[in-house]
Each structure stands twice: as structure tokens, then as C-alpha cells.
Structure 1
Amino acid sequence: MSEDLARGPATPQHASPEALTPTSAAEREPILDVLRGFALLGILLINIEFMRGADFYRAFSEAGSTDAATGVDRAVHFATGWLAAGKFLSSFAIMFGIGAGIIAMRALETGRSPRRVLARRYALLIPLGLAHMVLLFPGDILFLYGVAGMVLLAFVGLRAKAALWWAGGALAVLLVLSAGLVGLSAIAPEPPSDDPFTVGMEEFFDARAEQAVTAHQDGSYGDVVAANAWLALFTQVFSLVIIPWVVALFLIGFAVARAGWIRDLAAHRGRLRTAMVAGLGLGLPLNLATGRLGPMSQGAVMSGGDVDGVVIWSTAGQIIGAPILAIGYLSALALLCLRIGPIRPLAAVGRMSLSAYLLQSVLALAVFSGFGLFDRLSPAQGMLVVLGIWTVLLVVCPLWLRSFRFGPVEWLWRIWTYGRRQPIRNA
């Protein structure tokens, strides 16, 4: 394995560059599409917390507390914090890195510059993400992925082993820095309850929460857009802070692709089993604290709440534990697919993951704003909405791909990336 990582696949030399085209359906590895679809659906488990109400703002004044939740709602908060928060974002980032590695190798094989191809690809994500966060869902990740993808361009010439070293080093540095920040929060004197700045911030966030609730329940679509713009401002500032973490996860996926493991997953069953056992065995206990704090556990520190052992453990879980558990999830699902075959509905979602991601936001906006359910459903009821959206995607995506080669947004993305019109209908 170490030799594979160090070398990576050989790069062929070409006298002149050939035309670079999108991966055809016959060339795709369906298990990778299954993994991508799995990660995408899982992201909704956390996104629903932002979509269903104004709890993000309340986290700043309530320290991410779930004390008001009882029974099944507390169980949902614990389960999503423990098993989902950061894990599916990590999974999707790793799959994004694998995709970058595949495109880079295909570009090299045709004598093209991988940086130029990937730069065009990521450039479109930035304006698309900006539009998505304001018009549909403020918790957008496309903008983050576009910016982080531009950073990834500096590393696309690395061999697999070097990419892993960079990823591990970045995660280690982030862990140390985060521990230091949490430590400073722990020893910093707590401001008095009547501190003007603290009172002003709480009033500001309360006003933003009220604005969001009014806009989604009783306002026009323009009011919703205005409320989205405010929330996007805060969520995207946090997203920019975690760019180094996201790039590290990209590099993990890039290394897997660069080593050539994805070209024959069946030949790497032993490595997948090792990754599954290590990922689940280490990741589940490392993430227990994020379960205790819930899906918005970052609010406990960001709001100036009490810093204790649970918060410190949760910080380590978010930075290191989430990627480890994500690797366990992806490895376990890959092994399952090698045993029973690719799960076709999930593979369809993965093949058109960008379109499916945007469709999730459209459906959620229709439910919570169109029907006035924003801030009126409990966490458990929100999970029912998740199941409904999953069902729609698992039905619509396979039906779409019966007639078309790509999802509609993927089709436009490929035209932009490769600089020429692509046939969209199946032959």
C-alpha cells in the first residue's frame, strides 16, 4: 500500500494534447456514485436543522442547548450530533477530492493541464453557491467548495503519499489551534449579564431570528431572500474559517484517486476492511461529545457558553473524529456494494449530485416557507421531512437518468468545464 501511495499511477507522455471529455456512463465506477449519493443524502440530516427554523441564531444565546427538547427530540439531537454532524460533510468532501483526482489523471493522460480544467470547474461553483445561499438555502456548501477547490489547485501535482502528509499535517495544526482557542475561551472572564456588547449581540440575533420566522411564515419570497442573506452572512463566514479543514479532506480523497485504488475497488477489499474497522472503531467514540451537544454544537463555544470537557472533546471530534468516522462509513458502504452490487437509486443520486443538492433546497423551501411550517416543526418532525425529500430524490433521479446522461445542472457544468456543448440525451 505504501508503494502505491508513494508512486501513484504512471503519467503518460503525449506529443500533443487530446480532447478531454466528461467521463462516460460506461467509464464510471458505480460504487463511487453510490458513495457520493450516500454522502449527499446524509448532509440533509444536518441541513434540515437550518432549514426548519431559526435555531442557528438561538444557538448564540442558548449555547446550543437542547434542554427544551424532550423524549424523541432529544434522541434525534443526540443521534444527529453523534452520527451525522460533520460526518457527511467530511464524506462528501472526500468524494469531491476523489473526483478531482480522477479528473486530474484523465487530463494528464490526454496531455492537458489538470489545473486549467479544475480551475474552470471550481470557478462556476462560486457564483452558483452565492445564488443558492441567497435564493434557496443560506447553509450552502458550493461557495465553500469553489473557494477550497481553488486552494486545492496548488496540490494537484502531488503524489498520493505527499497529499496524505499534507492532509494529516493540516488536520494536526488545526487541532492544536482549535484546542488553543477553546482553552482561551475557557480561561477568559465571563462578561457580566448587563454588558452592553453582550446584550446588544443577543438583541441582534433575536431580531434576526424574528425576521427569519416572519419572512418564512408570513412574508413574501423577497422577505425570505432578505432573511437568507443575513443568515448566509454568518454561515459563510464560518465556512471560510474551515477552508483548511475542507482542503485537507479534499487531499485525502485526491490521494485515494491518485494511488489508483478506485480503478479496482475489489482488489482492495482488505484495505477497505481495515479502514472500516479503524474508522468506526475510533470515530464512534471520538464523536460521542458532538452527540451530547447536538447538531449545532459549535454554538456552545461561539456563543461564549461554558467550556468544559464535553466542548473540548467535541472540538477534537469535529476536526479529527468526523473525518475518521466518515472514512469508516464510506469503506463499509463500499464493501457492502462489492458484496451485493451497487445500490442503483443511490448511484443515480450520486451521478447527478449537484442537481440533487439544489433540488433538496427547493423541496425544503417549498415545505417550510411555501406551507408556512418554518419554526413550527420539532427535530423529530423535521426528520420526517428528510425522509420525504430522500424519497423524492431516490425516485426522481433514476427516472431522469433513464432519458438523460447527466443531471441538468451537471450538463451545464460540463459545458462550462470542457468548453463545448455536451449531448445530454441518452443514445
Structure 2
Amino acid sequence: MTDALMSAPVAAPQRLESLDLLRGFALCGILLVNIISMGGIWEAYVPMSTPNLENPDWSAWLVQHVFLQGSMRGLFTLLFGAGMLLITLRGGSGKGTIEAADVYFRRCIALLVLGVGNVTILLFPGDILYVYGLSGFFLFAFRAARPRALILTSVLLIALLTGFQGASAYKRAVEAREGRAVAESHLPAERLNSKQREALDAYQAAVAARQPTREARAEQTEQRTGGPVSLLKWSVHTWVDYAASSYTIILVMECVAFMLLGMALFKLGVLTGEQSLRFYLLLMAAGYAVGLSINGAQAVAFWRNDFSPELWLSRATYEVGRLGVTLGHVGLILTLWKLNAFGFVGTGLKAMGRMALSNYLAQSAITSLLFYGLDLWGRFDWWTLWGIAAIIWVALAIGSLLWLRVFAFGPMEWALRLVAYGKVPAVRRARLVTAP
């Protein structure tokens, strides 16, 4: 998922502080996105009410759609690509070794297992580790590629995804338009031909995707509050619905595209903070100018058309929009880092970033305990859920700082090293020795 997941932990040299900071920032952002589904109806991408900015949930949705949705996962994925290079290109000629390949592929397999564990043990079916593990298998062949080749391949994949998703969205929009016409005709079901029935079914499914029906919400509520067995069945079934479907192919293509870009940015010294302050200011300005404009236009289009399934252009621009905002985030965080503007907040973020895998899984564990163990699921609005997320940030930052005062790396990073290297690694921090 990030270089904390993919590389052997090191003694945090100065140039890697930027990666720790980016990881910590991404961890915080991804929890803001995930906690809405963790603490409420899973399929509810938008609040369960008529769009109205006077409703706090809708203002939270607007912030999420424009600034967070897709871009935080994009940042995680960039860092995964950078971390891959820390394993395969460490110390040698830049071509990697069979030992590095062995370690790397063991880690990919371990991520697959951890992803399944996140779904079945920690009860979070939105896990990304499984997809990252699958995507990682495609990365090794690109380990020695030049930055230009990596960027071109990444751009090509994003262009293919944009074209495919645009065509698919347009097809669904046409079906929805035809289905709406059938619904508004109020024809009896027995008078509909097969094409009309298909169009009507497609339209009704698209409407339900935006707002789950009352029956669907009631069924999910029963499943997620019906005890451990019922909850486990719901989590596994929800995960299998996408993990065993063609949608996983799209997710893997997305991840590979962003991972390749992350590899290029690492080789160019962008993610490691080696570029100038002016460079990061320009990256922030350009990334946000493109990404926020696209995401903002999408939000306006959705809002004005009441999230109609007949919209297609807004959905076709998803990849470009999230890419722009992701790069804007990189520019912003590293600009502030260059200016030493983070203070104690940066210290906490870097500690969280050094334990990225442990903290990612800890988020699932904490939210499952809160929402299921303490019977708090479905009780909070969006802003309250974000407040809970902020409390979790603080807890994880403090916990990470205390842990790293004693240990060299997090517990899950230790376990990952054990699997990857096939031997028990030392866990306690090495004491500094002053030479006489």
C-alpha cells in the first residue's frame, strides 16, 4: 500500500521524511472517506435526503467529493509504487536481484492475505490491500524503467480507463433515459416488450444505486446489527460482490497506473522532497487547478440534475479529476514540509506514516469496535463521523509516537518482514552508540 508496506524499514534518513509525512496524511484522508460507509449504510455515496446545503451532511458530501474522493486512494497508490522501488532497487545496479524479487512477491502475497483478514476478522469489506497485492504482481517488470517510460505508460492506462469508463457511462445513461421514458409512460408490466423491460430494470437499478431503497436499508441494518455471524456474512458477501467481479479489473488497472506514476515521481526525486520549493508550489497549483475544477464541475452537474443516472460526462472525468487532486495534495504537503510549517502535527503524521500498515488495519479494528462492539452503528451523521475520525487520528498518532520510542517499526510491519525475509527480525530500536 505504501512504502512502509513494501520496504524493509530503515532508520528514517532525512530524505525519506517526506514519504512518512505523505503516508500519514493519506491515512488521515482515507479514514474520512471510509468512515462514512463504516458507520452508515454501505452503498450510500450521498446522504439519505434531498440535496440541500443547509443540511450539514450535504456540505460534508461536497467537501468529500471535491477534495477527498479518489484522491486519497490515489496518494496511497503513488506511495505503493515508490515503496516497490525501495525493495527492488536498493543498493545495487538498479536492476534488482532474485533475492529482491523473492522478498517483493512474498510481500504481495502477504498483502492478499491481510486484505482477506481485514474483511473477515476486522469486518471491513472496502479493504484495498487485496487489490494492491494483485496490482503489485504487474509492477516488478517496470522496476528498472526510466521515468519517462513509466509516466507514458501511466498516462496511457489512465487514458484507456477514461475512454472505457466514458463509453460505459454513456451506454448506461442512454439505457437510463430509455428506462425513465418507460417508467413515465405508466404502461402495465404485461404490455412491455423485452427491450422496454430491460430499459426499465436498468433505470430502476441506477436510481437504487444512488439511494438504496427503504427495504434494502432495512435489510442491511438487520445484517449489520444481527450479531457476529450475520455481520461476517454481510462483510464477506459485500466484498465478494466487487472482488470477484469485473470491477476488480478496473481497480487493478487504476492502481497499476498510479503505482507506475509513483515509481516515476520517486525516481525523479519528487516524492522524496528533493525538488525545489518553486516546483512543489507549481505542482500544487497545477494539480488543484485541474483536479478541483473537474471535481467541482462534477458536483455541480450531479447537484443540478438530482444525481440523475442519465449523466455520463461527469462520471467519465473521474480518473483525470482524482489524478489532479492527488498531485495537488503532493504539492501542498511537500510545500508545507519545505517551509517547516507542520510543527508537532508533522511529527504525529510522520510517526503514523512509519507504521502505515499497522495504522491502516488499526482503523478497521477501532471502527469495528465502536460501531459493532459498542452498538453505535447507524447513529451518527456525516460530520459527527468525521469528528470520530479526527479522534482516531489523534489516538493513532500518539500510539505511533509511543510505540516508535521503543520499537523500530510497527507490529504489522514486523509480521510482514517475517513473511518476506523468512526469519524473525529484531523489533526493538537499536541504541545509538557514540564512537570514542
TM-score normalised by structure 1 residue count? 0.83
RMSD between superposed Cα atoms in Å: 3.0
Q: Is 1:94 paired with 2:78?
A: yes
1:90–1:322 Cα contact (<8 Å) kept = yes
Determine the structure 2 residue equivalent to 1:220: 227
Instruction: Quickly say closer, same or farther: Cα 1:186–1:314, change in 2 above 3 A.
Output: closer
Unpaired segments ≥5 residues, structure 2? 1-6, 184-188, 190-196, 431-436
Equivalent of residue 233 in structure 1, options 232, 240, 243: 240
1:92, distance to aligned residue in structure 2 (A): 0.8
CA shift, 1:99, in A, is: 1.1
1:254 aligns with 2:263: yes
User: What's the offset of the Cα at 1:368?
Assistant: 1.1
- 2:48 & 2:316 partners in 1: Cα distance? 16
- In structure 1, distance between residues paired with 2:249 and 2:411: 28
Matched-pair identity in %: 26
Matched with 1:313 is 314
Given that 2:18 and 2:271 are in contact with CA atoms closer than 8 Å, whether structure 1 keeps it comes out as no
**Match of residue 372 from structure 1:** 375
Aligned residue number for residue 331 of structure 1:
331
How do 1:276-287 residues align onto structure 2 when only pairs under 5 Å count?
276-287=284-295
Alignment of 1:173-192 (within 5 A): 173-188=160-175, 189-190=178-179, 192=182
2:363 paired residue number: 360
Structure-1 residue corresponding to 2:136 = 149
* Residues 198-207 or 145-154, more deviating: 198-207
Closer/same/farther in 2, CA of residues 395 and 313 from structure 1, 3 Å limit? same
Provide, for residues 162-210 of structure 1, a one-character-per-residue CA deviation record: whole Å limited to 9, x for no partner.
Answer: 0000001111111111111111122223175565993997699866643
- TM-score, structure 2 normalization: 0.82
Q: 1:231 to 1:149 in 2, by over 3 A?
A: same
- Consecutive unaligned residues of structure 1, counting only runs of 5 or more, are 1-20
Partner of 1:15: none
| Alpha-carbon shift at residue 121 of structure 1 (Å) | 1.4
Kept in 2: contact 1:148–1:246 (CA 8 A): yes
Distance, in Å, in 2 between the alignment partners of 1:108 and 1:416 is 23
Corresponding position: 1:424 with 2:427: yes
Aligned position for 1:115: 101
The number of residue pairs the alignment matches comes to 392
Is the Cα–Cα contact under 8 Å of residues 81 and 258 in structure 2 kept in the other structure? yes
| 1:149 Cα deviation after fit | 0.8
User: Displacement, 1:228?
Assistant: 0.7
Q: Measured at CA, do residues 391 and 117 of structure 1 come closer, stay the same or move farther in structure 2, by a change above 3 Å?
A: same
Q: 1:152 to 1:160 in 2, by over 3 A?
A: same
Is this contact kept in 2: 1:212–1:224, CA < 8 A?
no
Rg bigger for which structure? Answer: 2
